[in-house]
Amino acid sequence: MTTGEPSVPEPVPDARVVPYAPIPKPSGYAVASLVLGILGFFLSWITFGIPSMLAVVFGHVGVSRVRRGVGDGRGMAISGMVLGYLVIALFLFLVVAVGSLFAIF
């Protein structure tokens, strides 16, 4: 503060300030769906698609729990379901393609 300037009092914090609302935690099923979807995408050929099937199941359960308001994480659940369905579709396509090759010979 320099000389000649009027002093301005410091503002007093308002006691009525409401803190931020807590961030909702993601549903465990949504997290499991995403993790299993990623694992199934990379390891499906070793594990016979089991993580992808579990990702689809956990994804559906996670989305239903988010709808009921139990947790958050709808995007994670849907992402896990999409990855799971993608791997299952590719796996079935390869099974049909390889089976048709053996049927020709």
C-beta of residue 61 within 8 angstroms of C-beta of residue 36: no
How does 74-99 read in b/e, with b if 16+ C-beta sit within 10 Å?
Answer: bebbbbbbbbbbebbeebeeeeeeee
Number of domains present in the structure of the chain: 1
Query: How far, in Å, CA of 10 to CA of 80, rounded?
Result: 52
Domain annotation covers residue 17:
no
pTM of the model: 0.74
| Tokens linked to 67 | 């709808």
Domain annotation covers residue 3:
no
Domain annotation covers residue 91:
yes
Domain annotation covers residue 76:
yes
Give me the domain span that covers residue 51. 28-104
Tens-digit pLDDT profile for residues 14-48: 667 667 778 888 889 999 999 999 999 999 878 88
Domain annotation covers residue 4:
no
Q: Judging by beta carbons within 10 Å of its beta carbon (0-12, 13-18, 19+), is residue 28 exposed, middle or buried? A: middle
C-beta of residue 59 within 8 angstroms of C-beta of residue 77: yes
Tens-digit pLDDT profile for residues 66-100: 999 888 999 999 999 999 999 999 999 998 999 88
Domain annotation covers residue 69:
yes
Query: How far, in Å, CA of 87 to CA of 31, rounded?
Result: 18
Per-residue pLDDT, 7: 76
